[in-house]
Amino acid sequence: MKPARILAIETSCDETACAVIENGRALLASTVASQMDVHARYGGVYPEVASRQHVLSIVPVVEQTLAQSSLTLKDMDVIAVTRGPGLAGSLVVGMNMAKGLALGTGLPIVGVNHLEGHVYSAWVYNAGESVSPEPQFPLMALIVSGGHTELNLMTDHLTYQRLGSTLDDAAGEAFDKVGRLLGLPFPGGPAIQKAAEGGNPTRFKFPRARVDNPYDFSFSGLKTAVLYEVNDLKKKHKTLPIEDLAASFQKTVVDTLFEKAMQAARDHNAREILVAGGVSANRALRNAFMSQKEFRVNIPAFSLCTDNAAMIGAAGYYRYALGHVSDLTMDVQPTWELS
């Protein structure tokens, strides 16, 4: 594929991010301005606040990234930007910044699906460090984030077959909601992981949903089971065993994700497994996949699990190299399109 240096922008939720990446893999510079502290007071992301924070951060973040890379816009070949899914107000800020840069420089622009970006985070390595092996097709991709949980068979670059997805809550959403039930700080994922370290994961036998499609997910019932357990303990005036509840809940989620991904990989003769998205930073989930010997597993570095622009640049490179260039009239894309 033709070489290209890409300036990438990501503003789908509550991180304002920019990166410079070469040929879809070598990360030259990356900046992420997190709004986590701003939204913690609300117990979740406040969309209008997120949009306003992006407006304040986007120009400094782009300028800082270019300065970090020791490059200018004249050194770029392409601009890539997240076009969805995500919060509409947040996406508009990044899209308009990218469009303005493309219009002012004459550079081509590529719109990238946020979930596709998470998949391509597994291709990224830091420039100057050892080059990691590329994921090999056919590949079973498990995407686990705050808003999405799904399994996709990836047979080539940009070629997907969705096998299953969540029927209700995504895994990350379930972590946040259960974290709130247990009185843990936002975001729930890291808080539950920390609490679970000192807990007994077998104390509570939480249910696993039965679904018609073996590759679909459902975490709503699990969340409700935790709620009933918490309410029952409170009615009996017992101290909540936060660590045991967190550990038992986390084990149920991890076991479900691991077993479904492994079965899907076997059923579709995948060569490797890829795990990406914010929940892929969970140590119990990473350990489950890395401990098995049946498949080679691709999991991005911790810094690339949560939202970032490097992953958008990686996906954008392959879209550009394969001729998927957008135009300046493109709008936000609210759905995950397997194309």
Q: Are residues 187 and 288 in the same domain?
A: yes
Q: What is the pLDDT of residue 148?
A: 93
Mean pLDDT of 153-173: 96
For residue 329, tell me if it sits in a domain: no
Q: What is the pLDDT of residue 40?
A: 81
Q: Are residues 60 and 19 in the same domain?
A: yes
Q: Are residues 168 and 65 in the same domain?
A: no
Report angle CA 200, 202, 208 to the nearest 5 degrees.
130
Q: Are residues 275 and 149 in the same domain?
A: yes
The residue with tokens 């914010």 is 278
Range of the domain at 183: 139-299
> 5-10 and 15-22 as β-strands: parallel, antiparallel, unpaired?
antiparallel
User: For residues 323 and 63, what is the distance between their CA atoms, to the nearest angstrom?
Assistant: 28
Q: What is the pLDDT of residues 6-33, one digit of tens each?
A: 999 999 999 999 999 999 999 999 999 9
Q: Are residues 172 and 284 in the same domain?
A: yes
Q: Are residues 150 and 203 in the same domain?
A: yes
For residue 339, tell me if it sits in a domain: no
Q: What is the pLDDT of residue 43?
A: 81
User: For residues 257 and 166, what is the distance between their CA atoms, to the nearest angstrom?
Assistant: 11
Q: What is the pLDDT of residue 339?
A: 40
> 296-298 and 272-276 as β-strands: parallel, antiparallel, unpaired?
parallel
For residue 332, tell me if it sits in a domain: no
Record the pTM. Answer: 0.94
Q: Are residues 206 and 176 in the same domain?
A: yes
Q: Are residues 279 and 145 in the same domain?
A: yes
For residue 210, tell me if it sits in a domain: yes
For residue 22, tell me if it sits in a domain: yes
Kindly report the CATH number assigned to the domain that includes residue 74.
3.30.420.40
Q: Are residues 157 and 267 in the same domain?
A: yes
The residue with tokens 């922008």 is 9
For residue 331, tell me if it sits in a domain: no
Q: Are residues 161 and 258 in the same domain?
A: yes
Q: Are residues 176 and 210 in the same domain?
A: yes
Q: What is the pLDDT of residue 315?
A: 97
> What band does 335 get if pLDDT is binned at 50, 70 and 90?
low
Q: What is the pLDDT of residues 129-159, one digit of tens each?
A: 889 899 999 999 999 998 899 999 999 999 9
Q: Are residues 167 and 291 in the same domain?
A: yes
> What band does 334 get if pLDDT is binned at 50, 70 and 90?
low
For residue 134, tell me if it sits in a domain: no
The domain tally of the chain equals 2
